[in-house]
Amino acid sequence: MINKVHRLRLIISLAAFSLLMGCSSNHNQSKVPAEGADKLATEDGVTLTFWRNSGNDAENAAYEKLVAQFNMNNPTITIEMNPIPYSDYDTKLRTSIASGNPPDIMTIDAPSMASYAEAGALKPLTGFFKSDGNLEDIPTATLSAYTYKNDIFMAPLTESSIALFYNKKMFETKGIPLPSKNPEEPLTWEQVLDAAKKLTDSSKGIYGIDPAQGFQNAGATAYFKYPIIWQFGGEVMNADGTTSKGELDSPATKKALQFYADLYNKDKVSALEYPPDPFPNGKLAMTVDGSWSLSHYASDFPDFKLGEDYDIAPLPKGTRQAVANGSWSLAISSKSKHAEAAWKFVNFVTGYEGQKAYVAMTKDIPVRYSVAKEIAELNDYPKNIFVVQNQKFGRSRPITPIFPQMSDAVNKVFEEVTIGKRDIDTSVADAIKKIDEAYAGLQAQIK
């Protein structure tokens, strides 16, 4: 459930967004001219402000290195970077936009892109990308996460991904065939359920599967649980991001929701609560987790070894494979007076050279095909599972300007049908009503 701090943050963010909407203009009014990249000669001697969410030590160091390198190689353009703590970032950014004093360049998380673009706060980057952004080097599915109303609004840098982590020794003890390590040969959810039943021993506090990192905030729900809906052939919203009617209430989506709830309530192979670190501590046989956990297990659980104690397989599928894509990316303010110079920096950071330098320090998954091909560990097990899933089966979370409200409503459905054992039809209908009301309210603001 959403805690009080998150709710307060959301209220503040939406209040700033309302102010922003009041002073916005249509995003199509600020299209990049085809010859935009040739105007850099007129941008000599400019200083550009760059706001970003402050990350971990490796991410911070990587950005510092890239900014220093760009400033050194471009003496007529100065980038002034301002890292802001994650907890304050969105509120401060929306407030700066609403007050008419935004940074020239900013980082924005993929699901938030549409709300900023709808408000006219972002410069469309389509013309820039077509000019020298090397579009063919980025998976089409990845670009879709940064595209709104046929315009690209952000330049992606890295991806993260999730996969099925399983306790190899537990599988072997029970005589269960080990999952394939081929990124394109996942287990079905029915196979996962069958294995989970054999692996669960509630008397010892051992459960078969944590399918989506339990019950966290709405953002985590979107990243971990939407793929389950997609894998069963369902959808969360329509392609326009205007309503969930006909999608969230489809038979395929309801089947996914029922399967998820049954893991806890009928099959009892999942638990609502686990002790700390249940997977490396032997209390959880399978878990859907992220690529970032590899370093966590290696550093904090050195005796729990990849290849000996646990292994990784692609995410399970129902009727199809799917994984959520989209991460923090770079955007340019529609109010920047030096968009061409800003693009030069953005293109440097997210292009081949910048991206390669960044992921060498952070160990993240690069967006560009060319960079991923050059990093040996990304082409070998287990990292290749995360890379191939993103490149071939990645899907953007719904591109909609009401993403927070939509995500909260869908998160509540998962909680209600699983924890509260509420009727799925009733819960879904209530969610669709809330989503439609949120979209209608936004349209009324715009008018």
Residue 285 banded pLDDT, cuts 50, 70, 90: very high
Tell me what pLDDT residue 44 has: 59
1-16 in b/e burial notation, b at 16+ Cβ within 10 A?
Answer: ebeeeeeebbebbeeb
Q: Which tens digit of pLDDT belongs to each residue from 391-418?
A: 999 999 999 999 999 999 999 999 999 9
3-class secondary-structure state, position 53:
strand
pLDDT value at position 209? Answer: 98
Which residues touch 55 (CB under 8 Å, ≥6 apart)?
63, 86
pTM of the entire predicted model? 0.89
What sign does the CA torsion over 314, 315, 319, 321 have? negative
Strand partners of residue 147:
152
Sequence letter at residue 110: A
Give the other-Cβ count within 10 Å of 72's Cβ: 8
- Among 23-27, 51-55, 96-100, 195-199, the minimum mean pLDDT is found in 23-27
As given in the structure block, the two tokens for residue 376 are 């040996």
Structure tokens at 231: 């894998």
Secondary structure class of 286 (helix, strand, coil): strand
Give residue 217's pLDDT band: very low, low, confident or very high (50, 70, 90): confident
Report which of 53, 48, 149 is spatially closest to residue 109, judged by C-alpha positions: 53
CATH level 3 topology of 27-160+327-367: D-Maltodextrin-Binding Protein; domain 2 (3.40.190)
pLDDT at 10 over 70: no
Q: State the sign of the Cα–Cα–Cα–Cα dihedral 6, 20, 104, 341.
A: positive
Most confident of 27-36, 42-51, 162-171: 162-171
Contacts of 93 (CB under 8 A, 6+ apart): 51, 84, 102, 103, 106, 108
Q: With pLDDT > 90 as the criterion, what percentage of the chain qualifies? A: 86
Burial of 71 (0-12, 13-18, 19+ CB in 10 A): middle
Distance CA 92, CA 94 (A): 6
Which residue spans within 115-221 are E strands per DSSP?
147-148, 151-152, 155-156, 158-159, 162-167, 207-210
pLDDT of residue 444: 87
Query: Can you give the pLDDT at residue 245?
Result: 98
Helix (H), strand (E) at residue 81: strand 77-84
Per-residue pLDDT, averaged over 197-202, amounts to 96
Q: What is the pLDDT of residue 4?
A: 35
pLDDT at 219: 76
Supply angle C-alpha 413, 416, 418, rounded to 5: 100
Q: Which two tokens stand for residue 335?
A: 């109010």
Rounded CA separation 162/394 (Å): 11
pLDDT of 284 > 70? The answer is yes
Distance of CA 361 to the CA centre of its chain: 21
| Residue ranges matching CATH 3.40.190.10 in the chain | 27-160+327-367, 162-324+403-446
Mean pLDDT value across the chain: 91
pLDDT at 6 over 70: no
Label residue 6 left, alpha or beta by phi (over 0 means left) and psi (-120 to 50 means alpha): alpha
**DSSP code string of 308-336:** TTEEEEPPPBSSS--EEE--EEEEEBTT-
pLDDT at 5 over 90: no
The beta-strand segments (E) located in 85-181 are 105-109, 147-148, 151-152, 155-156, 158-159, 162-167
Flag whether pLDDT at 218 surpasses 80: no
pLDDT one-digit tens code per residue, 90-108 = 999 999 999 999 999 999 9
Would the pLDDT of 12 be above 60? no
Question: Where does the pLDDT of residue 9 fall: very low under 50, low under 70, confident under 90, or very high at 90 and above?
Answer: very low
The domain made up of 162-324+403-446 has a fold known as D-Maltodextrin-Binding Protein; domain 2 (3.40.190)
Predicted confidence band of residue 445 (pLDDT cuts 50, 70, 90): confident
CA gap 259, 159 in Å, rounded:
28
CA distance 71 to 30: 27
**Does the pLDDT value for residue 311 go beyond 80?**
yes
Checking if the pLDDT of 43 tops 90, the result is no
In terms of Cα–Cα distance, which of 153, 148, 120 is closest to 23? 120
pLDDT at 351: 98
Q: What is d(CA 61, CA 41) in angstroms, rounded to the nearest whole number?
A: 30
Spatial distance between the Cα atoms of 208 and 175, rounded to a whole number of angstroms: 15
Read off the tokens for 366: 């690069």
Distance CA(294)–CA(72), nearest Å, equals: 35
pLDDT per residue as tens digits for the range 246-282: 999 999 999 999 999 999 999 999 999 999 999 999 9
Residues 6+ apart with CB under 8 A from 73: none
**Separation of alpha carbons 21 and 16, rounded Å:** 9
- Tokens 């659980």 map to which residue? 301
With a cut of 60, say whether residue 19 has pLDDT above it: no
Report the pLDDT averaged over residues 116-137.
97
